A and B are shown apart, each in its own frame.
Chain A
Amino acid sequence: MTDSARDLAEQIVQLTGTRLPAVLDDAAPVLERQPESVYFIGLIGGKDVGKTSLINALVGRELSRPIGFGEGTDRAIAYCHASAVESVRAVLERVSPGKHEIVVHDNNALQSQVLVDLPDIDSRYADHVELTRKMLRHLLFPVWIQSVEKYADQQPRLLLQRVAEGNDPSNFLFVLSKIDLLAEREGESAVAELRDDYAARLQRTLDLAHAPAVFCTSAIRTASFDLPELTRLLARQRDARSVEQSQSLARAQRDRTVLRWIDEQQLPDQLARVERLIAEAREQLTARVASPIADGPLQQIATSAARRWAIVEEASRQRLSHWPVLRVFDTLLVPITSLLQKNIAPASSAEDPLLARSHIARQVQSVFAELHQTHPLTSTLLRRQAWWEPESADRAAMELTRRIDASLAAQRAEVVRSVARNRKWLAPFRLLLTAGALAWFPIIQPLLEIVLPMDGLAMTRELAWQIVRMLGATYLLQSVAFLAIYFVSLWMWVRYDTWRSASRLLTRLQSATAADARTSPLQQLIDWTDHLLAPLESHRDELKRLLARVESLRANSNGATR
């Protein structure tokens, strides 16, 4: 779970460019994962507050000699069961190579508990402080000890704050040592007062709801004050479940710290800002670019007779190319059709000013320049696109005209393709209607008229007579005239049919509900808006994703606390 918190924090850093929270710093005095078999209890305190004396009093034997002045304890002294020596040594080797001692006991009741005496945290000996800070990464249960003289010092307080970022205060023990000095001089009531003062300071430092319990101890008068209770507490080994619980509490605390840091990043605010920006950008782009184009030029193009004519023309030409004789006929009629096209459906002379690239570019530029001024986010999120610069805006406009042109071309190609589809199985029929008619009307039909009712010599003569007639000028003129009428009708029918189906298809393609985005200019207009806002939307999606993960992390950490 903590790893997911770290991962999340790193992603947020990547997205927003802030710094990682201190609790995730690799050198922070924050609890690491523990070896499974043992847990560490360590004494953390200032110089000469009586750490060694306390630990000696706690275990009831002299682990090392307490020194009242000078450098004092400079190493970590671990007090552990014989069975745990190996894992303890592994940890100490890593934390303070060569500067540690292990004192072994054989009390089986304390098999997995390791008591550690540590150097001070506030003296001029920098290596002392360093060693203790490193060791804090392994102390599940730090015992904070300060004397009546030093309990208000700032250095232990700062360290406590750092440690509390990654460990739960309920895992801490607070000890006020050398209490006998005060008790003798000022009386027992002063002990209670000082205890409350220390507890209140701790409460402020740790930002707790209640003041924590403080054990007042004296290494000289071991039997009085709270030392017996503390000894009892530490002589009882915690079972695996309670250790596990403490660890999960520590992890939850760390997650809470990370979550607090995440809260400070104000992701929901950022998300809201991005959403507002996107909404406004979309609205502006629609109002100032997309709608005028959709209502103006695109509407005109959709209803333009010239364009329809041109499409039908191309479709008919392709369709007629599959008809054997009509193909020639159509080519011969090209001058007439083009003349008709020019006058019945004249192409609009000038390009629509709304579709002019410079106009679109200016609109895009002005939309984004305004957004840049009103939403500071625009500047960072669209740094690479910079639609407010003339060149970029021109690129955006080019993109839009390209998209619209492409969609219109696709529309045209689609209509031509589907209307002028070559139906191969109709080829014999087409052959019959054209080449067949050419053979049938002038030749076969007249000859058959003679052959069928007669036989013999008379028929032969009649046949020859007919052939002679057929090669005459009158007959040929008659046939040509008839065939011309026939083929013109056929040609007109094909063209009419093409026009009808092409128109129907075009209307369908241009409707807003067209399924294929490729052939719909309106859809292209929408896509283009998306394209301009893509960096904003991807940033928003990323924020949303992170927020969802933050929520799940928060739920998990709440669950763990409960």
Chain B
Amino acid sequence: MLFAGRSIPRAIEALRDTLAKVRPTAGTRADAVDRALLHLSAIAFHHARSDRDTPVVVLIGGTGAGKSTIVNRLVGQTIAATSFRRTFTAGAVAIASQVDRVPDRFADLPTRLLAPELLPARGEGDAISIALATSPLIEKVVLVDSPDLDGDVPDHHAIADRLFRFAEAVVFLVTPEKYQMTELWPYYRLAARYGVASRFVMNKIDDPAAPGDYLKQLRDAGLEASHVFEIPRDDATYAPPQTASLGALRDALASLQASPDAKRSGLAARAADLRARVADQIVEPMRADRAAADRAIAGLQAMLLPEPGVDVNPITRDLQRRLQQRSVLYLIGPGRILDRVRQVPGLLLRLPRTAWDLLRRGGAASEDAIPPEQRTLPDFRESLIAQFRLLHSRIDDLLAGAHLPAGLDASWKLPVERAGDVADEELADLRTWLEQRWNATPRDTAALKKLLRLLPGGDRLLKMSEAAPYLLAVACAAHGAIFGHLDIMILGGYGLATWLVERMSNEVASRTRATNRAIARRFAQLAEQQVNRTIDAVRNCVPDVRSIDALESQANDLAAALGGDDRQPEGAR
């Protein structure tokens, strides 16, 4: 018991912290959390109250039930402002003999002491107005006048509900016109369930049968009501029996005795209801949100990332061609011969046209139809940006279909320019390299030059290199066979070797491949970064599983500590 007594405040604090942690900034979930926090405060309040404290009695009723009037008549002074206009009282007015009798942060609202000249008071929505009075009843209890519960000002209902949650005793006030309305009935049941002493009062009676019917309806609904206090209408001739009069009500309130059993079981019921409320209105929806978020995350993780689809080959093609033509191996290889041979018929057939051009324009058209600088290059930046936008579109569509709770803004999006920057940086690298290499000697040629320089007359040999295959072919053909039938193999081997070595030593192709790979790699990294960022955003827009589980277990702990474990929760308002 000692242990339980100390652990309950800790359980309350823990639950309060967790609730504050999982509270989203706005929306229905935030409202649910706020209500749960209020109910938790009520539990903390009731748990902390001792038997020596002055009990707080709240008057609850609909518009025009005469709450303020009855308060005044109970106290014997005009403290609460009354009017025949409805929804006149706007906030709680607490009447106490001393200021400190009103509990601190009662109903989770600040308190405000009213100067005597401000009386009678209508109350204010966001505070408890305290009025000091001296009367035998007020020595025993603190009386709180509340706004209406059923009027056309919804804010009033919220205040009345708040006060009810913190009340230690309740006076339910009805009139013959209103006792059958729906609004008060849930509160009757809650008061009984929470062990809050309730007194039922019917005001403005003119037909003596009405209170009897009220009592019958209360009992039919399974409520323990010994009797209904009866207050006749001002002009009515009816006089209630002594045991049900206003004086009797005053005595009943003055002699309120909190029963420890009722308080304990009431706290247990409150904790059980809070647990049910947390489970139904917070944990379950948040679990659903969490599941949706997890599905979205799984979808994001499994998402097909777009390929950059960029090939920088068009940029390097010219240099490749140029380096090839500067390569000795190409000049002495079969490629050159084949190129030449391929050009022969064309040259022959174009002869008339070339001649005509020569005659008419004084010069032949160039072989290369499109000069290199006019060749249209694809916009790599644009195409990478487009691919990155595609990624954004895919994520957008996925998130739109994931039914996530509100609260996920577009801040997860990385600027698309970053994809463009990848292309720009890599291409700038490539371009500087191309410029450096434009007048360079191909690697194979450089190596060959070094070799040939060791031979006498090597430089001259180099210049003759293009003739080498022809000479070799002529030698083979003219001589019949130098090495017999091996000639063909020698020619073939020579061709294959030069062609392959030239291909392999062409550094442009490998550099092109490297750039393509670098762009693809960096784009993939960027896409992955984007996806991870989105995953983080989705993950953070819903409380994590651990907080939700903690919330549930803390609500359960609190219910267990207060003994509300075995109680069936009741549908609370």
Q: How far is the CA of A150 from the CA of B234 in the complex (A)?
A: 18
Contact across chains for A46 and B177 when beta carbons are under 8 A apart:
yes
CB distance from B4 to the nearest CB of A (A): 40
Contact across chains for B390 and A153 when beta carbons are under 8 A apart:
no
Which segment, of A324-332, A369-377, A498-506, A520-528, faces chain B?
A: A369-377
Contact across chains for A379 and B396 when beta carbons are under 8 A apart:
yes
Name, among A49, A69, A124, A190, the residue most crowded by chain B CB atoms within 10 Å (CB to CB).
A69
Contact across chains for A343 and B152 when beta carbons are under 8 A apart:
no
- Kindly identify, within residues 76 to 102 of chain B, every residue whose CB is under 8 Å from any CB belonging to chain A: 84-87
Q: B233 — which chain A residues lie within 8 A by C-beta?
A: 181
Please pick, from A155, A194, A205, A376, the residue contacting B84 in the complex, using a CB distance under 8 A.
A194
Please pick, from A49, A124, A376, the residue contacting B180 in the complex, using a CB distance under 8 A.
A124
- Kindly identify, within residues 366 to 389 of chain B, every residue whose CB is under 8 Å from any CB belonging to chain A: 376, 378, 382-383, 385-387, 389
Q: How far is the CA of A482 from the CA of B376 in the complex (A)?
A: 56
Q: How far is the CA of A390 from the CA of B385 in the complex (A)?
A: 14
Is B442 in the interface zone, CB < 8 Å from A? no
Contact across chains for A369 and B390 when beta carbons are under 8 A apart:
yes
CB distance from B417 to the nearest CB of A (A): 13
Is B397 in the interface zone, CB < 8 Å from A? yes
Is A257 in the interface zone, CB < 8 Å from B? no
Is A186 in the interface zone, CB < 8 Å from B? yes
Chain A 158-196, CB-CB to B under 8 Å as 1, else 0, gives: 000000000000000000000001101110001001100
Is B112 in the interface zone, CB < 8 Å from A? no
Q: A71 — which chain B residues lie within 8 A by C-beta?
A: 180
Q: How far is the CA of A155 from the CA of B62 in the complex (A)?
A: 12
- Kindly identify, within residues 325 to 355 of chain A, every residue whose CB is under 8 Å from any CB belonging to chain B: 339, 342-344, 353-354
Chain A 107-125, CB-CB to B under 8 Å as 1, else 0, gives: 0000000000000001111
Q: How far is the CA of A32 from the CA of B386 in the complex (A)?
A: 56
CB distance from B481 to the nearest CB of A (A): 39
Contact across chains for A148 and B84 when beta carbons are under 8 A apart:
yes
Q: How far is the CA of A372 from the CA of B397 in the complex (A)?
A: 10
Is A242 in the interface zone, CB < 8 Å from B? no
Contact across chains for A149 and B177 when beta carbons are under 8 A apart:
yes
With both beta carbons as reference points, the residue of chain B lying nearest to A389 in the complex is identified as B390
Chain A 388-400, CB-CB to B under 8 Å as 1, else 0, gives: 1110000000000
Is B363 in the interface zone, CB < 8 Å from A? no
Contact across chains for B177 and A379 when beta carbons are under 8 A apart:
no
Q: A190 — which chain B residues lie within 8 A by C-beta?
A: 84
Which segment, of B133-141, B204-212, B275-283, B541-549, faces chain A?
A: B204-212
CB distance from A130 to the nearest CB of B (A): 13
- Kindly identify, within residues 166 to 181 of chain B, every residue whose CB is under 8 Å from any CB belonging to chain A: 175-178, 180-181
With both beta carbons as reference points, the residue of chain B lying nearest to A201 in the complex is identified as B152
Q: B400 — which chain A residues lie within 8 A by C-beta?
A: 379
Is B224 in the interface zone, CB < 8 Å from A? no
CB distance from A231 to the nearest CB of B (A): 24
Q: How far is the CA of A190 from the CA of B84 in the complex (A)?
A: 8
Contact across chains for A379 and B178 when beta carbons are under 8 A apart:
no
Contact across chains for B180 and A123 when beta carbons are under 8 A apart:
yes
Q: B210 — which chain A residues lie within 8 A by C-beta?
A: 68-69
Q: B393 — which chain A residues lie within 8 A by C-beta?
A: 369, 372-373, 379, 388
Chain B 192-219, CB-CB to A under 8 Å as 1, else 0, gives: 0000000000001011011001100000
Please pick, from B152, B175, B390, the residue contacting A365 in the complex, using a CB distance under 8 A.
B390
Is A480 in the interface zone, CB < 8 Å from B? no
Q: A344 — which chain B residues lie within 8 A by C-beta?
A: 353
With both beta carbons as reference points, the residue of chain B lying nearest to A120 in the complex is identified as B180
Is A134 in the interface zone, CB < 8 Å from B? no
Is A366 in the interface zone, CB < 8 Å from B? yes
Q: A150 — which chain B residues lie within 8 A by C-beta?
A: 62-64, 86, 177-178
With both beta carbons as reference points, the residue of chain B lying nearest to A150 in the complex is identified as B177
Q: B382 — which chain A residues lie within 8 A by C-beta?
A: 366
Is A359 in the interface zone, CB < 8 Å from B? yes
With both beta carbons as reference points, the residue of chain A lying nearest to B181 in the complex is identified as A122
Q: How far is the CA of A353 from the CA of B374 in the complex (A)?
A: 13
Q: How far is the CA of A354 from the CA of B213 in the complex (A)?
A: 91
Q: How far is the CA of A157 from the CA of B185 in the complex (A)?
A: 20
Is A47 in the interface zone, CB < 8 Å from B? yes
Given contacts A122-B182, A124-B181, A186-B84, contact A369 B389 (CB under 8 A): yes
Is B247 in the interface zone, CB < 8 Å from A? no
Question: Contact size class for B?
Answer: 35 or more
- Kindly identify, within residues 461 to 505 of chain B, every residue whose CB is under 8 Å from any CB belonging to chain A: none
Is B151 in the interface zone, CB < 8 Å from A? yes
Is B260 in the interface zone, CB < 8 Å from A? no
Is B235 in the interface zone, CB < 8 Å from A? yes
With both beta carbons as reference points, the residue of chain A lying nearest to B311 in the complex is identified as A358
Q: A197 — which chain B residues lie within 8 A by C-beta?
A: 85-86
Is B349 in the interface zone, CB < 8 Å from A? yes
Q: How far is the CA of A70 from the CA of B177 in the complex (A)?
A: 10
Is B290 in the interface zone, CB < 8 Å from A? no
Given contacts A152-B64, A153-B152, A342-B349, contact A47 B178 (CB under 8 A): yes
With both beta carbons as reference points, the residue of chain A lying nearest to B212 in the complex is identified as A69
Q: A148 — which chain B residues lie within 8 A by C-beta?
A: 64, 84
With both beta carbons as reference points, the residue of chain B lying nearest to A378 in the complex is identified as B393
Contact across chains for A153 and B84 when beta carbons are under 8 A apart:
no
Is B571 in the interface zone, CB < 8 Å from A? no
With both beta carbons as reference points, the residue of chain A lying nearest to B63 in the complex is identified as A152
CB distance from B339 to the nearest CB of A (A): 14
Contact across chains for B180 and A362 when beta carbons are under 8 A apart:
no
Is A141 in the interface zone, CB < 8 Å from B? no
Q: A370 — which chain B residues lie within 8 A by C-beta?
A: 386, 389
Q: B63 — which chain A residues lie within 8 A by C-beta?
A: 149-150, 152-153
Is B456 in the interface zone, CB < 8 Å from A? no
Contact across chains for A47 and B390 when beta carbons are under 8 A apart:
no
Is A147 in the interface zone, CB < 8 Å from B? yes
Q: How far is the CA of A70 from the CA of B63 in the complex (A)?
A: 20
CB distance from B455 to the nearest CB of A (A): 42
Chain B 267-300, CB-CB to A under 8 Å as 1, else 0, gives: 0000000000000000000000000000000000
Is A309 in the interface zone, CB < 8 Å from B? no
Contact across chains for A47 and B353 when beta carbons are under 8 A apart:
no
Is B362 in the interface zone, CB < 8 Å from A? no
Is B13 in the interface zone, CB < 8 Å from A? no
Is A154 in the interface zone, CB < 8 Å from B? yes
Chain A 191-213, CB-CB to B under 8 Å as 1, else 0, gives: 00110010001000100000000
Contact across chains for B182 and A390 when beta carbons are under 8 A apart:
no
Is B49 in the interface zone, CB < 8 Å from A? no
Please pick, from A46, A124, A152, A389, the residue contacting B86 in the complex, using a CB distance under 8 A.
A152
Chain A 47-58, CB-CB to B under 8 Å as 1, else 0, gives: 111000000000
Contact across chains for A366 and B383 when beta carbons are under 8 A apart:
yes
Chain B 326-366, CB-CB to A under 8 Å as 1, else 0, gives: 00000000000000000000000110110000000000000
Contact across chains for B177 and A47 when beta carbons are under 8 A apart:
yes
Q: How far is the CA of A372 from the CA of B393 in the complex (A)?
A: 6
Q: B386 — which chain A residues lie within 8 A by C-beta?
A: 362, 365-366, 369-370
- Kindly identify, within residues 11 to 45 of chain A, every residue whose CB is under 8 Å from any CB belonging to chain B: none
Given contacts A47-B181, A123-B180, A369-B390, contact A149 B64 (CB under 8 A): yes
Q: How far is the CA of A47 from the CA of B352 in the complex (A)?
A: 112
Contact across chains for B389 and A372 when beta carbons are under 8 A apart:
yes
Given contacts A197-B85, A201-B152, contact A70 B213 (CB under 8 A): yes
Contact across chains for B152 and A48 when beta carbons are under 8 A apart:
no
CB distance from B66 to the nearest CB of A (A): 9
Contact across chains for B154 and A154 when beta carbons are under 8 A apart:
yes
15 A-B pairs with C-beta separation under 8 A: A46-B177, A68-B206, A69-B209, A69-B214, A123-B181, A152-B148, A153-B151, A154-B151, A154-B152, A154-B154, A205-B152, A342-B349, A366-B387, A370-B389, A379-B393
Chain A: residues with CB nearer than 8 A to chain B? 46-49, 68-71, 122-125, 147-155, 157, 181-182, 184-186, 190, 193-194, 197, 201, 205, 339, 342-344, 353-354, 359, 362, 365-366, 369-370, 372-373, 376, 379, 388-390
* Given A124-B181, A150-B63, 4 additional A-B pairs, CB 8 A: A68-B207, A124-B180, A152-B152, A365-B390
Q: 6 tightest CB-CB pairs across the interface, nearest first?
A: A366-B386, A152-B86, A369-B389, A343-B349, A69-B210, A372-B393
